[in-house]
Amino acid sequence: KQEVTQIPAALSVPEGENLVLNCSFTDSAIYNLQWFRQDPGKGLTSLLLIQSSQREQTSGRLNASLDKSSGRSTLYIAASQPGDSATYLCAVRGNQGGKLIFGQGTELSVKP
């Protein structure tokens, strides 16, 4: 059974700092991994999608990497801003397609 873990559960950093959010999964047989952002009381915003054949994806200040063999993904945020404050969720989809398995999220607070 696939399990997804995100560490840390919460993180507070000063504005301008570069930071890394971690996501680990127990079954390396995944089809893809997706990172989302969720603001309080809102839905999920897709940030990056990494297919199983890819090592990383970049969008603006965000870079996500994937190491299937070790069951890990990281989301790197460069030059953090207060507007980056949100909960970040990673989710994996197995080789059969279908449902996403989510981690519990990392709540990020960027202080001005």
Partner 1 sequence: KAGVTQTPRYLIKTRGQQVTLSCSPISGHRSVSWYQQTPGQGLQFLFEYFSETQRNKGNFPGRFSGRQFSNSRSEMNVSTLELGDSALYLCASSQQERRAGELFFGEGSRLTVL
Using CB under 8 A as the binding rule, whether residue 55 contacts partner 1 is answered as no
Please state, in angstroms and rounded to a whole number, the distance separating the CA atoms of residues 107 and 88: 6
* 100: exposed, middle or buried (Cβ count in 10 Å: 0-12, 13-18, 19+): middle
* 50: exposed, middle or buried (Cβ count in 10 Å: 0-12, 13-18, 19+): buried
Q: Considering only CA atoms, which of 3, 108, 2 is closest in space to residue 62? A: 108
In the bound state with partner 1, the residue whose beta carbon lies nearer, of 35 and 80, is 35
Using CB under 8 A as the binding rule, whether residue 49 contacts partner 1 is answered as yes
x-or-dash string of contact with partner 1, 63-102, rule CB under 8 A: --------------------------x-x-x---xxxxxx
Q: What are phi and psi of 43, to 5 degrees?
A: -80, -170
Q: How far apart are CB 79 and partner 1 at their closest, in Å?
A: 25
Size of the site for partner 1 (CB under 8 A): 23
Q: Are 28 and 68 in contact (CB under 8 A)?
A: yes
Using CB under 8 A as the binding rule, whether residue 22 contacts partner 1 is answered as no
Using CB under 8 A as the binding rule, whether residue 18 contacts partner 1 is answered as no
Return residues touching partner 1 (CB under 8 A): 31-32, 34, 36, 41-46, 49, 89, 91, 93, 97-105
